[in-house]
Amino acid sequence: MSNTLTLITRAGCPLCEEMESEIQGLLAGTGHRLARVDVDADPSLRARYGWEVPLLFDGDTELCRHALNLTAFQDWLRVRA
């Protein structure tokens, strides 16, 4: 199990910024971290996800898309507590 979530994002994306801010606040003090990946910096990610950002992943498992799914996030956090 990873202690790192991956946020696939894009520069200038308000939804991405909002999700990142929410997650950073919820992760504060937990020992977990958030890795941010710019979808436009990787041609394969851009081809796969296009405008479908933000996306939050635990490894290969998608937790949420476009907006924070608080229930899925809290479930992820609870399993790793």
CATH topology of domain 4-79: Glutaredoxin (3.40.30)
What is the pTM for the complete model shown?
0.92
Give the number of other Cβ atoms within 10 Å of residue 46's Cβ.
16
Sort 13 into a burial class: Cβ within 10 Å, 0-12 / 13-18 / 19+. middle
Dmax over CA atoms of the chain, in Å, equals 35
- Tell me: the pLDDT tens digits for 3-56? 899 999 999 999 999 999 999 999 999 999 999 999 999 999 999 999 999 999
The answer to whether the bond into 54 is cis (omega within 30° of 0) is: yes
| DSSP letters spanning 26-40 | HHTTSS-EEEEEEGG
Query: Tokens 């790793």 label which residue?
Result: 80
